[in-house]
């Protein structure tokens, strides 16, 4: 344990110093003299240590990044960090920990269900995350739900030595749109949420959550990447090296918000089509697809400048910022609203800081491009033909769906169309735009970036006879 406590202290020196210096607001002035002598502003009840080295190519104030090999067993040490007398209700009792592999990028988090269903469809019978039970020590009743490929859970006694060995079977490039080869893989997060028993004996009372950022490579690829990063850093000038973190032998998972439990409406076993036609099954009624919606800060729950510190605490709880309530104990609504984006990022870290800043400002981000699409069907073609011939009433109308783009790339458009029709992006092979004389022009990033702020298309589909995929045509 001494090795890991030393690693933690060294690892968080920069972080803790920045928190104290963030603001000259009352809470920080009052508590500065009361800060504990070690590097942490508060001692967390548990500490999780992933036994894999961090990359040396990470700048000082950025989150660490750790490279893992696909399918290799990695140890996570579950350490009891409580002071004497802290959380006496769990002494001599079990706690439950849930380990997840989730997406780091917010864009992929919004489509997690579709991404995982696509992976399941392409890798039948495989899991994203597994426990290596023979290697693990001190875990009880390990479970892996067959419907949750990226999640495992187990019970453990904090007073006893506990090490859990995990294996990650997906690689980062599996969730990158394959266009030219050589694309950078997407980062994942390994997150651990720990719970204690409630009065009914259910493990539902949250105690602690922590996570770290990882990338997963094919076997031995992580070792090559680590070596490449190390060699790059050795070639840098000494003054440049000072801007980067050293490579730590182990990775300390840092405190984060608990992972929200999400119940999906669509529990179909595969993202296959329900229709024999060359068209997608569009949702009926209000046209809302069955995918995880992007969280929107409701105007009704905006924090007001007149809010008391007690009101502000309740607002933080309601908006899933409970881990930061202690930091903001004496803050009124006006105090919180005065914080700049840089302030909250320094206090809460990049991911939660940006989320808190947007929630404080009640921000609704305007998309860079809006595309309205209507699926063309045989019935629509007949109605259109009648209308052109004067046989139909002029009040014939079609329902369009809005697609909002931020990155203005063909990969993003592919993902959004896949979301809309509740299929895997891998089932969309190419997207074309109908050009002059009916020619099909491949939609590129440059073409999308030259669209107007709002554009409107009729969407047609064409079966690809070489595989189970489809081509999309924008008319």
| Structure confidence by residue, pLDDT tens digits, 178-228 | 555 556 788 999 999 999 988 888 898 999 999 999 999 999 999 999 999
- pLDDT over 70 (residue 285): no
What's the pLDDT at 383? 59
Reply yes or no on whether the pLDDT at 353 is more than 60. yes
Q: Say whether 141 sits in a helix, a strand or coil.
A: strand
Element (DSSP H or E) covering residue 176? none
With beta carbons less than 8 A apart as the criterion, state whether 303 and 282 touch: no
3-state class of 339 per DSSP? coil
Asked if residues 187 and 67 have their Cβ atoms less than 8 Å apart, the reply is: no
Within 13 Å and on the Cβ side, how many CA atoms surround 122? Answer: 18
Confidence band, pLDDT 50/70/90 cuts, at residue 272: very low
Average pLDDT over residues 118-131: 86
pLDDT, mean of residues 362-371: 69
Closest by CA to 347, choosing from 18, 123, 31, 6, is 18
Q: Over 50: is that where the pLDDT of 406 sits?
A: yes
Provide the total of helices (H) and of strands (E) in the chain, helices listed first: 14, 18
- Residue 391 confidence (pLDDT): 53
Q: Residue range 423-452: average pLDDT? A: 85
SS3 225: helix
Position 21 pLDDT exceeds 70: no
pTM exceeding the 0.85 threshold for the entire prediction: no
The answer to whether 115 touches 94, Cβ cutoff 8 Å, is no
Asked if residue 381 has pLDDT above 80, the reply is no
pLDDT value of residue 47: 92
- The full DSSP string for 106-138 is HHHHHTHHHHHHHHHHHSTT--SEEE-TTT-BS
According to the model, what pLDDT value does residue 151 have? 93
- By mean pLDDT, which of 68-82, 102-116, 226-240, 422-436 is the weakest? 102-116
For residue 209, list its beta bridge partners: 193
Here the contacts of 132-140 (C-beta below 8 Å, separation 24 or greater) are 132/73, 132/165, 132/166, 132/167, 135/73, 135/75, 135/165, 136/163, 136/164, 136/165, 137/161, 137/162, 137/163, 138/78, 138/162, 138/163, 139/164, 140/94
The answer on pLDDT for 146 being more than 60 is: yes
pLDDT value, residue 284: 36
Percent of the chain residues topping a pLDDT of 70: 75
DSSP secondary structure string for all residues of 410-454: HHHHHHHHHHHTTS-GGGEEEEEEE-GGG-EEE--HHHHHTS-SE
Least confident interval from 48-62, 103-117, 337-351? 103-117
pLDDT for 335 beyond 90? no
Q: Is the pLDDT of residue 168 over 60?
A: yes
**pLDDT reported for residue 314:** 85
Average pLDDT over residues 77-85: 87
How much is the pLDDT for 365?
53
More confidently predicted of 440 and 267:
440
- Which stretch of 32-36, 84-88, 141-145, 174-178 has the lowest confidence by average pLDDT? 32-36
177: pLDDT confidence band, cut at 50, 70 and 90? Answer: low
């Amino acid at each position: 344990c001494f090795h890991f406590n030393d690693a933690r202290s060294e690892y968080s020196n920069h972080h803790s110093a920045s928190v104290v210096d963030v603001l000259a607001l009352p809470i920080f002035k009052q508590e500065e003299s009361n800060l504990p002598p070690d590097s942490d502003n508060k001692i967390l009840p548990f500490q999780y240590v992933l036994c894999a080295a961090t990359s040396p190519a990470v700048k000082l104030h950025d989150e660490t990044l750790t490279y893992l090999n696909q399918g290799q067993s990695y140890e996570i040490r579950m350490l009891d960090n409580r002071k004497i007398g802290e959380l006496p209700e769990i002494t001599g009792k079990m706690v439950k920990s849930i380990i997840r592999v989730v997406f780091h990028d917010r864009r992929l988090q919004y489509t997690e269900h579709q991404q995982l269903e696509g992976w399941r469809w392409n890798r039948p019978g495989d899991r994203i995350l597994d426990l290596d039970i023979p290697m693990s020590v001190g875990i009880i009743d390990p479970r892996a739900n067959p419907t949750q490929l990226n999640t495992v859970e187990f019970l453990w006694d904090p007073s006893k030595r506990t090490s859990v060995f995990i294996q990650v079977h997906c690689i980062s490039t599996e969730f990158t749109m394959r266009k030219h080869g050589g694309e950078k893989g997407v980062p994942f997060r390994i997150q651990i949420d720990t719970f204690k028993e409630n009065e009914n004996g259910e493990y539902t009372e949250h105690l602690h959550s922590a996570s770290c950022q990882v990338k997963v490579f094919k076997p031995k690829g992580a070792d090559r990447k680590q070596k490449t990063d190390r060699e790059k850093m050795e070639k840098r000038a000494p003054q440049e090296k000072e801007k980067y973190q050293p490579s730590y032998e182990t990775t300390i998972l840092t405190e984060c918000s608990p992972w929200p439990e999400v119940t999906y409406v669509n529990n179909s076993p595969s993202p296959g089509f329900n229709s024999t036609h060359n068209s997608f099954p569009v949702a009926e009624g209000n046209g809302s697809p069955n995918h995880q919606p992007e969280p929107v800060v409701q105007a009704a729950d905006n924090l007001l400048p007149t809010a008391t510190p007690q009101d502000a605490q309740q607002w933080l709880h309601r908006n899933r910022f409970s881990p930061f309530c202690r930091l903001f104990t004496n803050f009124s609504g006006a105090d919180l609203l005065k914080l700049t984006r840089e302030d909250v990022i320094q206090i809460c870290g990049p991911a939660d800081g940006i989320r808190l800043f947007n929630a404080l400002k009640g921000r609704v981000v305007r998309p860079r491009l809006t595309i309205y699409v209507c699926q063309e069907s045989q019935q629509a073609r007949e109605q259109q033909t009648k209308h052109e011939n004067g046989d139909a009433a002029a009040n014939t109308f079609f329902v369009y769906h809005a697609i909002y783009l931020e990155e203005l790339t063909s990969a993003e458009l592919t993902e959004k169309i896949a979301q809309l029709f509740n299929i895997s992006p891998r089932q969309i092979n190419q997207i074309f735009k109908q050009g002059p004389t009916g020619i099909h022009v491949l939609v590129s990033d440059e073409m999308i970036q030259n669209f107007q702020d709002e554009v409107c298309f009729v969407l047609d589909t064409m079966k690809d006879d070489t595989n189970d995929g489809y081509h999309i045509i924008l008319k």
